Amino acid sequence: MKGGLNQSLRLGQELKINPRLYQAMDMLYMPLLDLQQHLKQELLTNPFLDMIEDDEEEQGADEEAETELEASPEVAVEEPNANTDDETNWEEILLDGFESSGGMSEQRDDREQYEAVSVGAHHLDDYLLEQIKLLDLNPRQLLLAEEFIGNINDDGYLAASLSEILEGINDVVAKAAERAGRDDEKLPFYTMAEAEEMLAIIQRLDPPGTGARDLRECLLLQLNDAGQSGTLAERLVRDFFQELIAHRWSDVARKVGVTTVEVQRAADDIAKLSPKPGLAQSGKQDNYVVPDMVVEKIDGEYMVFVNDGNLPRLKLSRVYQDIARDKKKFEGENKEFITNKLNAAQWLIQAIEQRRHTMLKVMHFIVDRQREFFEKGVQYLKPLTLREVADAIGMHESTVSRVTNEKYAQTPRGVLPLKFFFSSGLSTVDGEDVSARGIKDTISKLVNDEDPKNPLTDQAIVEILERDGIRIARRTVAKYREQLGVLSARMRKRV
């Protein structure tokens, strides 16, 4: 085997991805509110961007701006059809999905990220600390209370044992003693009795069930808070928890000495309790959805609009275009700055319009495909995949994915995420396809309308669907039922 170094030449093509194309990907991905904030930020950082006022003639102003730019040879502006290395070929980019065999899959460590920031969220630990401060506790108790609250998860459960909590708080005490260096300033270690006393205090806080160590204790705390101590419901949770979970009503009724109907009624009361009480506060923040698209039925036809009325409408600043034409100022570092900012401004305006055009193409196809859904309801939703949309409108599948991700449409059927319209399908006996989402809706309605004393088994649902011309396996029905949160027929049975 001969060793050594050698050189070779290789021809190949690769798409050079600059930060602007990364920004284009982000803009396709951004929901309306995020895009609105992004454009406002661009207005602040790029002096060549200006807002179009309501009383301006938008079309005339834009055409005039373009004419002025073409007449300024000193400025290297990236025109839409310019034959340059950094040409923004939108058709190629959208068709390829911002991907190529070379360079596109590289990690973008320096890429600017745009994330929604939660403002004013009120978390569970803050809520509990506020209550603790209202209690008549001494400093030693307050320190232990904070240790407990720090070990309560978002569901409201105590995520550590009392021994682990004691170990943690006593470690704090030991370190404080080392820093003090004087025996008369050393704090005594916390005891298990203090931990148990504090647990009782924590478990009396709102929301009821907070500080429980398991589901059973959580339900008992809620029942006690509701004044149901000593009731049949409390006894079921305390003494017959496994039977309660398994819905063995008859066995419990026989052991307790009551009727099966009474046991079921008590179980219904228990079912109204929250298995995760902390979520009432952990997720307590307002999440507003602003639809990116609007679908309206006008004169019997469904029309699609982009809901961009609140977006800043951008144009090129006349003032800074005049600066760009000043040959004395347009040199050295000023030239590079002006060229970059001017090119970025025009590119951004193009990118916004291309985003709008792409979203309209995608939504128009969805509306055409799902017309029966808009007319008749979810059971008539047709199966649809990203690949089908991409092939139909001549774009890459990843581009369609970015357009539909975290986007919402206001429709005659309500405000829906665009992902709602995408679903796998099943075949019918006549060869047509039906959406899995529609099948789930049918199963849900069948269960809601069933006789509670004789609930439908999975096989019975299969037979009903087959009579309607839908081929489906029993295991598929079971999977859909579980996804809907519907119990099995034995668990749903009433007496």
- Three-class SS of residue 153? coil
Stretch 113-135: mean pLDDT: 70
pLDDT of amino acid 491: 76
pLDDT of amino acid 56: 55
- The two three-digit tokens of residue 311, written as one number: 């977006």
What residue type is assigned to position 270 of the chain?
A: I
Q: Say whether pLDDT at 392 is over 80.
A: yes
Q: What is the DSSP string of 417-470?
A: EGGGG-B-EEEBTTS-EEEHHHHHHHHHHHHHTS-TTSPPPHHHHHHHHHHTTB
What rounded mean pLDDT belongs to the chain? 77
Q: Say whether pLDDT at 328 is over 70.
A: no
405 in Cβ contact with 290 (< 8 Å)? no
Q: Say whether pLDDT at 442 is over 90.
A: no
Stretch 105-109: mean pLDDT: 38
Q: Say whether pLDDT at 493 is over 70.
A: yes
If you search the block for the tokens 């066995």, which residue do you land on? 251
Please report which confidence band the pLDDT of residue 177 belongs to, taking 50, 70 and 90 as the band edges: confident
Residue % of the chain over a pLDDT of 70: 73
Closest CA to 270 of 310, 243, 296: 243
If you search the block for the tokens 């991409």, which residue do you land on? 390
pLDDT of amino acid 191: 92
Most confident residue range from 31-35, 126-130, 402-406, 427-431 = 126-130
* Cα angle for residues 132, 134, 138 (degrees, 5° grid): 70
Q: Say whether pLDDT at 101 is over 80.
A: no
DSSP single-letter state for residue 116: -
- Greater confidence (39 vs 205) lies with 205
Least confident of 78-92, 114-128, 291-305: 78-92
Q: Say whether pLDDT at 222 is over 90.
A: yes
Would you list the domain boundaries of the chain? 124-231+270-281, 425-492
- Within its chain, how far is the Cα of 44 from the centroid? 29
Give the span between the Cα atoms of 68 and 31, in whole angstroms. 34
425-492: CATH topology is Arc Repressor Mutant, subunit A (1.10.10)
Q: Say whether pLDDT at 196 is over 90.
A: yes
End-to-end CA distance of the chain: 84
pLDDT of amino acid 214: 93
Please report which confidence band the pLDDT of residue 487 belongs to, taking 50, 70 and 90 as the band edges: confident
Q: Say whether pLDDT at 78 is over 70.
A: no
Closest CA to 287 of 22, 21, 31, 1: 31
Q: Say whether pLDDT at 311 is over 90.
A: no
Output the pTM of the full model.
0.54
Q: Say whether pLDDT at 425 is over 80.
A: no
Stretch 251-271: mean pLDDT: 90
Least confident of 75-79, 208-212, 378-382: 75-79
Q: Which long-range contacts (CB under 8 A, 24 or more apart) does 391-394 make?
A: 392/365, 393/361, 393/362, 393/365, 394/95
